[in-house]
Structure 1
Amino acid sequence: MKKCIKVVDEFVYKIIRNKTEQMSKSRDDSRVMKKSDILSRFLEMNKTDPKYLKDIILSFIIAGKDTTASTLSWFFYMMCKHPLLQEKIADEVRKATGINQNSSIDELANSITDDALDKMQYLHASLTETLRLYPAIPVDSKVCLSDDTFPDGFKVRKGDAVAYQPWAMGRMTSLWGDDAEDFRPERWIDENCCFRQESPFKFTAFQVPQSLTIL
């Protein structure tokens, strides 16, 4: 394991060194700045500690690559099944970014700012609804660090494995109502047409903060 970690670390550190040198030599090169990969963004913010950057990069690659790909695959699948919702989201994106159907990909990318994203409330709701029905991690397990007792009185012992199932929880009518198995982004929209977050104990796709867990 140590040998493998060393190989990965050396590879990432090499990328960081090369990117740092490239950006320092090409500050006026617009092609470099427009690339806007995650490493370039952190370097632009003067975040230059190699270990910090290495940890960030690996976290995005390991924790974000497959989960993001899986979620987007299910999201586009749901869009294909609900073309009216697809058009509603596309219209929201057009209004938030100010682009039109003749805009280029580069124009679209440049128009996606934090302010524009804040206006995409229905898109946020649709992605969250996708995660409710098709969580990136459908089953998750934990190991008890010590003897404990659940709120309902069930006792667990140190070393016991305890699993919970976000996939099943996302379809429980006791949590989401009789339409639990329906794809309905509106359940995440409040009366002001803004995205409404649910308790992480109910919507467990991103898990509950570790400080709140009982294990």
Structure 2
Amino acid sequence: MAMLGYHEIIIAFICFLLLFFFGSVDGLLWNWPLIGMLPGLLVNVHRIHDKCTEILAQSGGTFLLKGPWLANMDMLGTVDPANVHYIMSANFSNYPKGPQFLKIFDFLGDGIFNSDADSWRNQRKLARLLIAHQRFHQFLVKTSQDKVEKGLIPVLEHVSKQGLVMDLQDLFQRLTFDTTCMLVTGYDPGCLSIELPDVPFSKAMDDAEEAVFTRHVVPESIWKFQKWLGIGQEKKLSEARETLDHVIAKFISTKKHELSKGIALMGEEEGVDLLTSYLCNDEATGGLRCDDKFLRDTILNFMIAGRDTTSSALTWFIWLVSTHPIVEANIREELKTAIPAKEDNNRRLFSVEEVNKLVYLHCALCESLRLYPPVPFQHKEPHQSDVLPSGHHVHPKMKVMFSLYAMGRMKFIWGDDCLEFKPERWISEQGTIKHEPSYKFLAFNAGPRTCLGKEVAFTQMKAVAAAIIHNYNVQVVEGHHVTPNVSIILYMKHGLKVRVTKRWSSS
């Protein structure tokens, strides 16, 4: 094993020497002897999502990426809906997350994202029960509306009054961090305020995600060697994990203390958070042992899912709307229809019930998610050798990668106008929402692993979007460069720098 590690280190060194020489040919990656296509991958890593789009478009939707010899890095990239449906639904049992996924995402522990088989089924069953419960829905509605009114609006009022340039992406990360933390644990960390304070827990999540992306593009022996030495991204991940564990342990111990005193259930008529529900539903655990380790993994999995995906989606959505005046005008016209006739069209916030009825707003969100999915890629590992509907062979030591970012940019899937932001493509002839199959629109996953938090995400996004679009004008700062970052979550590399002005002079 040691010899193999040094061998891969030498290969990686050679790859870096070749980075600026013949990384690709005719848009496709060159397959070098011994080192495979790794040089071409590394030279394009700064624009990996667009490179994947180019390669998959040229190759008909499926492409075999050859990794270095003996590195077990061969990867089949695909956006073919037939392959996606086969892997995610029809032959689901042969495509678990697998041991390699667990290694890469080890900081998530044994939570629902990493688990397979009975552990996954039991966790999903319990999570679905608790998330679908009326008590949690009540808490979701109240939390979402309160955080918009008492957190988001005061900040927007402040920056608009002062004429400040602000990073809207950072604001959305703070907003969804607070709301997700409240929904999952019941505690508000106060990340969203005019002072914009530093929150170590939130930064630790960012650092962990960056390190995990690096594990996707370098040989396993390289990042394990870094981990052993305690250097580079692995050092950052280790420090992030310590912070995450410390804060979550405090959440759990505090909640247990409050429950033992009867404090946490005093306001139960307004709904309850998920941590409280897990601790108070022993009869519904389905054989799961809800000890501190299980609660730690569950909280972290939910925090990653709730904070990152929703804030990413909101950032790209507001940018798209603010740069497409016709779409913005259409949303504003639809919002007017939700305002009672006796009420003036003036500054106001919208209830969850009001925005949930809006078709065009929902379709605009779906269109944004199609072009900029918060999780831009995911991978599976076949348990047994298999042949995909496209005719490609896969085996247990090969990753199968879906590029959700590329999928939304394929003409053979979405038509010649696939690069355009057109909410109308989601509206049926009857004026209702057109539901596309999940193996074509994969933003919320597909098959048995379809996202449990889909409705939670839409509830939060609609409340925030309606509040901003109806009450403010958002203008991207001139010269600000918008491009995707390189991470497991699709954020903007340089944030979203904007100026915000009020649409209404009176309150």
Give your verdict on TM over 0.5: yes
Residue 280 (structure 2) pairs with residue 48 (structure 1): yes
Deviation at 1:200, TM superposition (A): 1.2
- Does the 8 A contact of 2:339 with 2:345 survive in 1? no
Residue 385 of structure 2 contacts residue 394 of structure 2 at CA under 8 Å; is this kept in 1?
yes
Per chain length, whose mean CA-contact separation is higher, i.e. which structure has more relative contact order (CA < 8 Å, sep 6+)? 2
Name the aligned partner's letter for residue 174 of structure 1.
F
* Cα distance in structure 2, aligned partners of 1:171 and 1:201: 14
**Aligned counterparts of 2:440 and 2:266: Cα–Cα separation in 1:** 50
Aligned pair partner of 1:166 in 404, 408, 414: 404
CA distance in 2, matches of 1:22, 1:87: 47
* 1:139 corresponds to: 377
Determine which structure has more spread, i.e. the larger CA radius of gyration.
Answer: 2
Matched with 2:390 is 152
> CA contact under 8 A between 2:363 and 2:433: conserved in structure 1?
yes
Partner of 1:187: 425
| Residue 12 (structure 1) aligned to one of 248, 251, 260 | 251
1:90 aligns to what? 332
Whole-angstrom CA distance in 1 between matches of 2:257 and 2:336: 37
Q: Deviations over 1:11-38 (max 9, x none)?
A: 332354467544544579xxxx4xx7x7
Question: Can you list the C-alpha shifts for 1:191-212, whole angstroms capped at 9, x where unaligned?
Answer: 1211111111111112222479
Partners of 2:444 and 2:405 in 1: CA distance:
12
Deviations 1:136-194 (A, max 9, x none): 12222222222111112211111211112111110111111111100000000001211
Q: What's the TM-score once normalised by structure 1's chain length?
A: 0.74
Question: What is the letter of the counterpart of residue 10 of structure 1?
Answer: A
* Superposed CA offset, 1:73-124 (max 9, x none): 000001111122112213323423547543544xx3xx222xx344111111
After superposing the two structures, state which structure 1 stretch, 90-99 or 183-192, moved more.
90-99
Gaps of 5+ in 2: 1-106, 110-240, 283-289, 451-507
Count of residue pairs brought into register by the alignment: 197
For 1:101-116, list aligned pairs within 5 A.
101-105=345-349, 108=350, 111-113=351-353, 116=354
C-alpha separation in 2, matches of 1:93 and 1:22 = 40
Alignment partner of 1:81 out of 323, 331, 338: 323
Which residue pairs with 1:206 in the alignment?
A: 444
Q: Which moved more, 1:203-212 or 1:2-11?
A: 2-11
Q: What SS is found at the alignment partner of 2:413?
A: helix
Unaligned runs of 5+ in 1: none
Counterpart of 1:163 in 2: which secondary structure?
strand
Q: Percent identity?
A: 31
Indicate the larger mover: 179-188 or 154-163: 154-163
The answer (yes or no) to whether the contact 1:39–1:57 under 8 Å persists in 2 is no
Mapping of 1:54-73 within 5 angstroms? 54=295, 57-73=299-315
- CA distance 1:104–1:180, shift in 2 (3 Å): closer
